[in-house]
Structures are given as C-alpha cells and as structure tokens.
C-alpha cells in the first residue's frame, strides 16, 4: 500500500492534491463573506472615535471619548440614573415594546390575513392604514397625550400604532404571494375553506409575517424615544431625553448603546425564530 | 364514467377580446382507460383539464362524473400538476397524507396508507425528507402518490412530466403505467409529446387551437401491451407506432380547415 502510494505520488500529487479550482465569474455580492470587513470597519470607527477625542478635535461636551462613555456606563450601572437603576430603565422600555409588539401582532396579523382574503375588509381598512402609517409618530404624539393622558397607555398605544402597519401589510402580502396552484391542489384534495386557511394560507404567509414582525419591532425601537417623551420617569428613551436637557452627552451615548444592543438582540432573536419556524424559506 | 358533453369555454383576454379556449368538446373516460389529450399550446387541453378538475366553470355544456355534475374541485378527482405543488413545510409523508388529513382520517391510518403509496411510487426511505431535498422526478412521484391517497375516481394529470429531463421522463412514464395497471384508475393525461401520448394512452384525442377543439381520436393498445410485456423497444419499433406518430404529427401541424364549420369564431 505505502509503496504503491509513494510510487504514484510524483505523478498524482501536484495536480490531484492541489488542483487549481475555478468557478464562474461572480457578479455582485454572490454570497462572499463580509463579516471580517464589517468587524474591521467597526474597529476602525471606534479607533477614529478614540483619535478624535484624544486629539480634542471636538469639545468633550459634544463628543465624549469612549473611555468617558464606558465610565459613565459603569456609573449608571452602579448608581442608576434619575432615580432609577439601569435595569429599571431597561425593563420599563422592554415592557412597553413587548406589550406593544404583542398587541400589534395580535391585531395586525389577523387583520392583514383578512385583508388579503376579503375584498370588503381590504376596502374598508386600506384607507385608514395607508393614511396613518407614513405619518411620523411624533406627529400624532400630541393627540395620544390629549386623548389618552400621560400614563402608560398613551406610550403603549403610540408604539402599537407604529408597529401595527408593517405587521398588517406584510401579513397581507403573505396571503397575496400564495400561488393559486397550491390552493387548487388543496381543494382537489378535499380541503374545506377552514382547512384551506389553516393548512395552506397561514403557513404560506408565515415567512412574510415573520419578516413583518421583525420590521415592526425595529420600528418599535426607533419610536421608543418619542413614546418616552410623554411624561415618563423611566425608560431608556426617557434617560436619553433627560440627559440631553443637562447636555450630558456621555449619558446620551450610553442610552444609544443600550438601545442598539437590545434592538440587535431582538432582531437576532427574530432571525433564530425564522430559522426554527420557516426552515423552508427560499428553498422552494 | 366521466362524461364531458359539448363543453365550451370563453375567456376574456387582457386586451378585452374574447378568447374561445374550448369549443364543444365531447369526451368519455371509461373505467380502466387512459385518455391522453395531445396538442400544441393554446389548444385548450389545460382548459379542459381545469374544467374537469372543477377549477374553471364552463361557458356551455356539461361535465358529469358517475352521473354527478362537476362544478367544483373535490377529492373524487385527483390532480397532478405540471409544477409541483407540494407544501414545503411538510415532510414527504405528510404531503402524501394531506388529502387523508382533510378527510379526517386518524393520523396512524393515514401514515400507514401514505407509506404504502410511497412504496408504490418507489420512494420508500424518503418519507421524512423535505420536498426541497428531492429531485424534480421524485417530487412528481410524491405528487402522484398524494393524488392517489384519497382514492379518487379519476386521476387528472396536467403535463406532469413536461419539466423533467427525457431520461427521468421515461422512468416516470413506466411508473405511471405500473400505477395504472395496479390501481386500475382511469386517467386523463395532458401532453404535447406525441410519443408520450402514444405510449400512455388507451385513447388519444388530438386537439387544435383557436378555438380549442378535439379534431381526432385514436384508440390504442400500446399501453396495455407494455403493462403486460414490459418491453419498451418492442413498442417503439412497432411499425404501427411509427405510422400513428406520423399521422398525428401531420394532424398537429396542419392548419385546420374550418370552412365547413360556420363562422363561430369570436371577433
């Protein structure tokens, strides 16, 4: 065996062991990995931040250095901010976002499905949704305060409204992406209307619904600061607004960092959920 | 017996014109027969199948299955589509068992029946695969098993092998003959391949477009012979096969003389 292999080696080795592997010339991204580039960019940005604050190119009042922000973060972690611990601020915001997401999903998904299936539901709800959903939440924020007061309710309703539209619209798109052959196949297998909905329409729309949820939650985070403008005493958004009144840019940076971290975690969680619930996505 | 009587279908095209998709088609599909509709695209063969399946109402005429008028889709007519319509979120087994689930068959019984059907189409061992893990030919096998699961009175097949490569296609044709011989199902099969039509049909109806109509009908026995002797070469080298091939080829390609039929062509 060894003999044969070593004798064969001089002929086979240079080409068979390290053949020059080729592939079609790619166009665009073509699945090329970007992680390393992204990490490098992140490191470069932080390095630039260091450099700018170290050279005092911008007064620290406007742009605190990374080490200041870190110190401030640790200080808030220890002592809290404005009468509440960081944990209390975060959980207040999380509670609002989660409640609003739950409400938006439990109204938006059924309504979106119904709008995709029924002419009347679509006709009736299209106008109000198309009217309100491009509005910036800050524009109808005063109305929320006038109508619903300054308690928890107006904050949650504001967030719910912001999240509702993308969730509802994507559920609707999910129904519309359902191929008619799939419906016909189910009908010729004897499906009743209810079975058709449960076994065909709903799972077919699920990938789009999950995309809508992900977008909705993203919109929720970006609306959080607006919602917590309303007479809040807790919440990350409140922390940022309150800090801005005292020109405490380092606290603002801490708040932004916390929101970014949580928004990223939510988005990542949704991706995992997608992978678990719709593993077939993009494969058929 | 499936009985199509004087079935006509008019569509409105996108530009508002009327399209005469099917013109007074009359067709009987008896027990144990394979009726193949053959024709170029636009000849109304898919329209006819969609009407029999109940996906499409007729403008005129009637379709009955064992005396019952056909006016909507139902589990008594199993359909195999050209494009596979398997559910990507269900395993192969659950796809095959779908019709039984709709019918309320208990999970254990339907799994047993689905496994039996998978064996028949040569897919035992793939019960727990996902549809996207299978090749095109294998998916059509699943499609056939799924359509058979509810024990329909007739199998409707809309160019089921049209998207397959020619080698797979031959295998699938032989598989279909096996299934037919074993289950005795009557089959309505659509194709634009003359060879496929001759090989599979106990009856071949040739259709011609604008308006879609049946222009000729041939009763054949190649498929019965193949079911018994299982010798493809003997059939392909049969001089009658070649003769019929030429005759049908001429029919399909000849522009039809409609002068004696009156001016029923839509403007």
pLDDT digit string (tens) for B2-41? 989 989 999 888 888 888 888 899 999 988 899 999 988 8
Give a yes or no: residue A157 inside a domain.
yes
Three-state DSSP state, A176: helix
Three-state DSSP state, B138: helix
Count chain A–chain B contacts defined by CB atoms under 8 A: 72
* Chain B residues with a Cβ under 8 Å from any Cβ in chain A: 53-55, 72-75, 77-79, 81, 83, 85-89, 98-99, 101-103, 130-132, 146-147, 149-150, 156
- Chain A: give the shortest CA distance to residue B15, in Å: 22
Q: Residue with structure tokens 């005092």? A: A56
**Tally of domains within chain A:** 1
- Structural domain that includes position A116: 66-277
* Same-domain status, B59 and B112: no
Retrieve residue A246's tokens: 């005292």
Q: Which of B133, B150, B167 is the last residue of a domain?
A: B150
From chain B, the residues in CB contact with A199 under 8 A are: 87, 98, 101-102
More confident residue, A5 or A150: A150
When pLDDT is cut at 50, 70 and 90, the band that residue A1 belongs to is very low
Determine phi and psi for B188, rounding to 5 degrees: -115, 120
Give a yes or no: residue B259 inside a domain.
no
From chain A, the residues in CB contact with B150 under 8 A are: 189-190
CB contact under 8 A, A188 and B72: no
Q: How large is the average pLDDT for residues A25-42?
A: 85
When pLDDT is cut at 50, 70 and 90, the band that residue B258 belongs to is very low
Q: Residue with structure tokens 């709709």? A: B102
* Same-domain status, B176 and B69: yes
Asked whether the beta carbons of A116 and A176 are under 8 A apart, the reply is: yes
Give a yes or no: residue A30 inside a domain.
no
Give a yes or no: residue A45 inside a domain.
no
* Same-domain status, B126 and B227: no
CATH number reported for the structural domain that contains residue A254 in this entry: 1.10.3720.10
* Same-domain status, B96 and B145: yes
When pLDDT is cut at 50, 70 and 90, the band that residue B266 belongs to is very low
| Residue of A184, A190, A197 best to disrupt the B interface, most CBs of B under 10 A | A190
* Same-domain status, B67 and B181: yes
**Tally of domains within chain B:** 2
When pLDDT is cut at 50, 70 and 90, the band that residue A16 belongs to is low
Among B80, B61, B79, residue whose Cα is nearest residue B69: B61
Task: Choose the weakest-confidence range: B13-22, B115-124, B198-207.
Answer: B13-22
Q: Is A84 left (phi over 0), alpha (psi -120 to 50) or beta?
A: beta
pLDDT digit string (tens) for B172-191? 999 999 889 888 899 999 99
- Chain B: give the shortest CA distance to residue A63, in Å: 51
Q: Alpha carbon of B156 to those of A50, A96, A135, B7, B234: distances in Å?
A: 71, 55, 52, 17, 28
Give a yes or no: residue B258 inside a domain.
no
* Same-domain status, B135 and B240: no
Q: Does A130 touch chain B (CB under 8 A)?
A: no
Q: Is A211 left (phi over 0), alpha (psi -120 to 50) or beta?
A: alpha
CATH number reported for the structural domain that contains residue B224 in this entry: 3.40.50.300
* Same-domain status, B125 and B236: no
* Same-domain status, B171 and B230: yes
* Same-domain status, B67 and B172: yes
* Same-domain status, B42 and B167: yes
Neighbours of A281 (CB within 10 A): 16
Q: Which of B126, B150, B174 is the last residue of a domain?
A: B150
Tell whether the model's pLDDT for residue B116 goes beyond 50: yes
* Same-domain status, B42 and B6: yes
Mean pLDDT comparison of B9-13, B141-145, B210-214, highest-scoring range: B141-145
Q: Does A188 touch chain B (CB under 8 A)?
A: yes
Tell whether the model's pLDDT for residue A239 goes beyond 70: yes
CA angle B112, B113, B118 (to 5 degrees): 100
pLDDT digit string (tens) for A132-163? 888 988 888 888 889 998 888 999 999 999 99
Among B23, B27, B21, residue whose Cα is nearest residue B5: B27
From chain B, the residues in CB contact with A200 under 8 A are: 87
Q: Tell whether pTM > 0.90.
A: no
Give a yes or no: residue A17 inside a domain.
no
User: Can you give the pLDDT at residue A284?
Assistant: 58
Q: How far apart are CA A133 and CA A166, in angstroms?
A: 8
- Structural domain that includes position B95: 86-150
- This model of the complex carries an ipTM of 0.87
Q: Count of alpha carbons within 13 Å of B115, Cβ hemisphere only?
A: 8
From chain A, the residues in CB contact with B88 under 8 A are: 280, 283-284
Give a yes or no: residue A32 inside a domain.
no
Retrieve residue B197's tokens: 């039509």
Tell whether the model's pLDDT for residue A45 goes beyond 70: yes
* Same-domain status, B130 and B164: no
- Chain A: give the shortest CA distance to residue B183, in Å: 18
Retrieve residue A244's tokens: 């801005």
Q: How large is the average pLDDT for residues A120-124?
A: 94
Give a yes or no: residue B245 inside a domain.
yes
Give a yes or no: residue A20 inside a domain.
no
Three-state DSSP state, A60: coil
């Amino acid at each position: 065996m060894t003999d044969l292999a070593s004798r064969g080696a001089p002929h086979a080795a240079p080409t068979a062991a390290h053949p020059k592997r080729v592939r079609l010339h790619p166009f665009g991204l073509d699945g090329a990995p970007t992680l390393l580039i992204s990490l490098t960019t992140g490191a470069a940005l932080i390095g630039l931040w260091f450099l700018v604050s170290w050279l005092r190119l911008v007064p620290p009042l406007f742009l605190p250095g990374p080490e200041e922000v870190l110190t401030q973060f640790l200080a808030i972690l220890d002592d809290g901010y404005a009468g509440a611990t960081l944990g209390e601020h975060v959980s207040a915001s999380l509670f609002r976002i989660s409640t609003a997401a739950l409400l938006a999903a439990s109204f938006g998904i059924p309504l979106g499905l119904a709008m995709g299936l029924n002419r009347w539901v679509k006709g009736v709800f299209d106008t109000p949704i198309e009217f309100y959903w491009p509005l910036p939440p800050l524009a109808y924020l005063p109305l929320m305060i006038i109508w619903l007061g300054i308690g928890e309710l107006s904050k949650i309703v504001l967030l719910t409204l912001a999240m509702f539209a993308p969730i509802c619209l994507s559920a609707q798109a999910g129904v519309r992406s359902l191929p008619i052959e799939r419906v016909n196949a189910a009908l010729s297998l004897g499906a009743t209307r209810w079975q058709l909905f449960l076994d065909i329409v709903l799972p077919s729309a699920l990938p789009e619904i999950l995309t809508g949820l992900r977008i909705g939650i993203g919109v929720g985070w970006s609306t959080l600061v607006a919602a917590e403008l309303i007479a809040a005493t807790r919440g990350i958004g409140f922390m940022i607004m309150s800090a801005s009144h005292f020109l405490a840019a380092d606290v603002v940076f801490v708040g932004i960092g916390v929101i970014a971290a949580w928004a990223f975690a939510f988005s990542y969680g949704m991706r995992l959920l997608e992978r678990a619930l719709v593993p077939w996505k993009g494969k058929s | 017996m499936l009985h199509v009587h004087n079935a006509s279908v008019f569509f409105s095209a996108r530009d508002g014109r009327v399209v005469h998709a099917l013109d007074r088609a009359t067709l009987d599909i008896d027990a144990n027969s394979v009726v193949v509709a053959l024709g170029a695209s636009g000849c109304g063969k898919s329209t006819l199948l969609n009407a029999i399946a109940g996906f499409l109402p007729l403008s005129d005429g009637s379709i009955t299955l064992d005396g019952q008028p056909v006016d909507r889709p139902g589990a008594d007519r199993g359909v195999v589509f050209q494009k596979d319509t398997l559910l990507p979120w269900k395993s192969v087994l659950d796809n095959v068992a779908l019709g039984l689930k709709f019918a309320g068959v208990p999970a254990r019984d339907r799994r047993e029946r689905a496994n039996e059907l998978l064996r028949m189409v040569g897919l035992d061992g793939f019960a727990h695969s996902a549809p996207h893990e299978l090749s095109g030919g294998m998916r059509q096998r699943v499609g056939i098993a799924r359509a058979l699961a509810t024990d329909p009175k007739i199998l409707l097949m809309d160019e089921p092998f049209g998207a397959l490569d020619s080698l797979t296609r031959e295998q699938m044709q032989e598989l279909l003959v096996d299934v037919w011989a074993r289950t005795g199902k009557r089959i309505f099969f659509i194709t634009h391949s003359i060879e496929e039509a001759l090989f599979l049909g106990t009856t071949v109806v040739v259709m011609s477009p604008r308006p879609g109509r049946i222009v000729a009908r041939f009763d054949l026995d190649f498929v019965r012979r193949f079911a018994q002797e299982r010798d493809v070469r003997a059939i392909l080298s049969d001089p009658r096969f070649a003769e019929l091939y030429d005759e049908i080829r001429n029919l399909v390609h000849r522009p039809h003389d409609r002068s004696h039929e009156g001016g029923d062509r839509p403007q």
